Amino acid sequence: MNVTDSTLRPIDPIAEPPWETIAAIPIVDEGGALHPVSLAAPMLRTLPLYHALGVPGAVPECWAREAVYRRLLEVARHLPDGLGLVVLDAWRPYVVQRHLYDTLLEMVETRYADLDESDRRAMTRAFVSPPSERVDRPSPHLTGGAVDVALCDADGLLLDMGSAFDEARAASHTVHFEHHAGDADTRTYRDRRRILYHAMVDAGFANLPSEWWHYSYGDQMWAWYRGESCALFGPSGPDSLEARWRRSLGQDA
């Protein structure tokens, strides 16, 4: 693995997202279909983890907007030798978002029953956004602009990043090992996160600071972190046979 000094530059502190401000950012949806990321193989690897784990409603493909798809390829092409990019999740159906949020919230409420409800919901939101199909404030993954990614080795095996994907603990925060790298293992986690972070941000993505794996392009969170006046993507979904029939019948009418 050839790693340059610039690739391993530290990750600067990332501001916590002001969700109400973010939700007020206007969306000027430029349209565009979702594309199956698996088409980019072997340059990109996909592992639709929620489907593999049996989450109700999860789909067996990672779908993303074209601008996201192309930027992921850019990231994969610029990773150091011996490293690959794995997409774990991208577009996410509402029913999956609902299941993830409700399940984690229930666990947080049980574990932290002594906290105020607002605090428990804030803890949950750090790792799972509240489900929303609203045109003006959709859940990030519903837009096709948010992706969950990880690094793998040359054989496709996922690399240890210091916490597992979707692990709801402090070690999952992107900059955690910038401050807790006291031995060889933790320095390795820190460096791998640096490689992933800078590759993604340099390609135009924005990172959710509580999740080293979550990046977005074109959604409202991306717009806030990147200083854009509007978001590019609203709610979306893969095309369906029924939708194609409806369009063709409408055109024939």
| Known binding-site positions for Zn(2+) | 141, 148, 214
Least Cα distance to 140 among 223, 200, 59, 84 occurs for: 223
Catalytic residue among 133, 167, 178, 211: 211
Report which of 177, 201, 197, 152 is spatially closest to residue 45, judged by C-alpha positions: 152
Residues of each annotated binding site = 141, 148, 214
109: annotated active-site residue: no
Q: Residue 80 corresponds to which tokens in the numbers above?
A: 């150091």
Closest CA to 196 of 50, 60, 88, 51: 88
Give the other-Cβ count within 10 Å of 157's Cβ: 10
The span from the CA of 44 to the CA of 39, in Å, is 8
| Residue tagged 């919901």 (tokens) | 121
Residues noted as catalytic: 211
